[in-house]
């Protein structure tokens, strides 16, 4: 076969493996759609991590029929699109005399979607129609804005994160090092044998698509070039602490720290980059501090890096940053923001890589992934917060493979 035929065959095989994987998010979604018909089920997450696949697996698991439609089109549809899909669900439930699940994908693309959903949701109560609703989207901020504006008290939020190491190992046979480099985008797995194609795919199909269609097109961004440059800066400094003033010095037409902090929030809403605040127990943390930049998927870092997989492995400093970033990204992807806060700590030159606070329980996490061994930060942190718990990841601590195989809720039990 020609190279493109081989690539197509490999891509088809890997995508079939992806479809066979039942992610941990599926079971609770099935249960909620069956047990909680009185709320709108909402599934958010990054692009191309399998939200649509998850929704279709849900359809197969439920004991009643479903109607599926997606608004992900070059020209976003209007509110009449929702009304049409809703009518189809009404016809289905009239025919079956039972519940029907209506799945609306990429809902944030529809102008005024939340008002239409609210109207139809309230109407179904009056009509005593058992239409159950699942909405999906790629932009957490846009969907949650719509939910809070019009659907307060009517929804439950489910999160679909990037693929974990065990999932990529099961679907694609990846080693830990491969996952740490190539990240958790299943659609990019077919291109890892051709590094240039892999980088181009991640850059064009993921980074540019998310920035252009999920952030710039749908948000009022006064300085789109600045937002792009901010993302590139974060990708160049994964797991590193940069003050907003330092960012201002490296970015063209950067405006002020308030603008940068807002743009970091937008990048976080699109599951690209988070700026972790400095931990200070009992004190409200301020965005004006020096954030620690965590890129939500290492693929976003390495697709923009000039280094190959082999060269990155040999560069102990860069590999250490990738490992630390992967730990931070794993925590961001897998810990619920409603039950845990993730920050970092730095005082008088002493640092702790990550600080997790769950209620009154505080965990200090130090990562050893190729950088010089240091635990002085943990000792100074414990002196200030003696009730805190500590965890060393990598090195002589918990093995990296064990860490990434274990859900953070289990690792960080009080």
Edge-first strand order for the sheet with 273-276 is 240-241, 292-295, 273-276
Q: pLDDT tens across 367-398, in order?
A: 997 655 567 899 999 999 999 999 999 998 99
Are the beta carbons of 33 and 65 closer than 8 angstroms? Answer: no
Sorted by where each begins, the domain ranges of the chain are 26-159, 165-411
Judge whether 4 and 191 are in contact, CB under 8 Å: no
d(CA 212, CA 145): 19
173: left (phi over 0), alpha (psi -120 to 50) or beta: left
- Spatial distance between the Cα atoms of 165 and 183, rounded to a whole number of angstroms: 8
| Tokens linked to 292 | 């620690």
For residue 137, the cross-strand partners are: 44
SS3 206: helix
pLDDT value, residue 213:
76
Distance CA 230, CA 263 (A): 8
Cβ contact 264:251 at 8 Å: no
Residue 60 has pLDDT above 80, yes or no: yes
Residue with tokens 């274990």: 406
- Return d(Cα 321, Cα 344) in angstroms, integer: 15
The stretch 73-78 carries a mean pLDDT of 85
Which tokens sit at 386?
């003696």
What are the tens digits of pLDDT across the range 275-289? 999 998 765 444 446
Q: Tell me the pLDDT tens digit for each residue of 313-335.
A: 999 999 999 999 999 999 999 99
> Is residue 265's pLDDT more than 50?
yes
* Mean pLDDT calculated for residue range 52-73: 93
Question: Measured between alpha carbons, how far is residue 361 from residues 51, 102, 331, 398 in Å?
Answer: 32, 40, 16, 20
Token pair in block for residue 181: 């480099």
Q: Is 390 exposed, middle or buried (0-12, 13-18, 19+ CB in 10 A)?
A: middle
Mean pLDDT of the chain: 88
By CB atoms closer than 10 A (0-12, 13-18, 19+), residue 347 is middle
Is the pTM higher than 0.95?
no
Query: In the CATH scheme, what architecture does the domain 26-159 have?
Result: 3-Layer(aba) Sandwich (3.40)
Q: What is the largest CA-CA distance in the chain?
A: 69
Q: Using an 8 Å Cβ cutoff, are 306 and 300 in contact?
A: no
């Amino acid at each position: 076969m020609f190279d493109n035929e081989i690539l197509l065959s490999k891509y088809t095989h890997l995508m079939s493996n992806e479809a066979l994987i039942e992610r941990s998010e599926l079971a609770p979604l099935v249960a909620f759609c069956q047990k909680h018909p009185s709320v709108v089920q909402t599934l958010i997450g990054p692009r191309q991590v399998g939200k649509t696949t998850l929704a279709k697996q849900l359809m197969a698991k439920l004991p009643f029929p479903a109607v599926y439609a997606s608004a992900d089109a070059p020209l976003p549809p209007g509110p009449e699109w929702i009304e049409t899909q809703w009518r189809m669900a009404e016809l289905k439930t009239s025919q079956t005399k039972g519940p029907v699940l209506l799945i609306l994908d990429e809902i944030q693309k529809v102008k005024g979607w939340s008002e239409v959903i609210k109207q139809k949701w309230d109407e179904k109560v009056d009509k005593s129609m058992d239409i159950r609703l699942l909405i999906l989207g790629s932009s957490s901020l846009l969907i949650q804005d719509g939910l809070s504006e019009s659907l307060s008290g009517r929804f439950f939020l489910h999160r679909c994160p990037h693929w974990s190491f065990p999932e990529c190992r099961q679907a694609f046979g990846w080693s830990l090092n491969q996952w740490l480099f190539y990240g958790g985008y299943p659609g990019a797995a077919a291109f890892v044998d051709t590094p240039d194609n892999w980088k181009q795919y991640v850059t064009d199909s993921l980074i540019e698509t998310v920035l252009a269609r999920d952030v710039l097109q749908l948000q009022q961004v006064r300085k789109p070039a600045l937002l792009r440059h901010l993302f590139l800066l974060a990708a160049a400094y994964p797991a590193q602490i940069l003050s907003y003033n330092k960012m201002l010095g490296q970015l063209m037409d950067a405006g002020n720290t308030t603008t940068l902090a807002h743009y970091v929030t937008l990048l976080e809403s699109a599951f690209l980059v988070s700026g972790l605040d400095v931990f200070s127990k009992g004190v409200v943390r301020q965005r004006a501090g020096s954030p620690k930049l965590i890129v939500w998927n290492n693929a976003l870092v390495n697709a923009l890096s000039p280094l190959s997989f082999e060269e990155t492995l040999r560069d102990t400093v860069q590999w250490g940053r990738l490992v630390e970033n992967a730990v931070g990204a794993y925590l961001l992807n897998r810990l619920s923001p409603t039950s845990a806060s993730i920050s970092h700590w730095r005082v008088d030159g002493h640092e702790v890589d990550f600080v997790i606070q769950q209620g009154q329980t505080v965990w200090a996490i130090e990562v050893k992934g190729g950088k010089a061994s240091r635990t002085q930060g943990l000792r100074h942190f414990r002196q200030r917060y003696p009730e805190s718990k500590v965890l060393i990841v990598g090195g002589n601590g918990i093995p990296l493979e064990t860490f990434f195989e274990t859900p953070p809720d289990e690792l960080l039990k009080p």
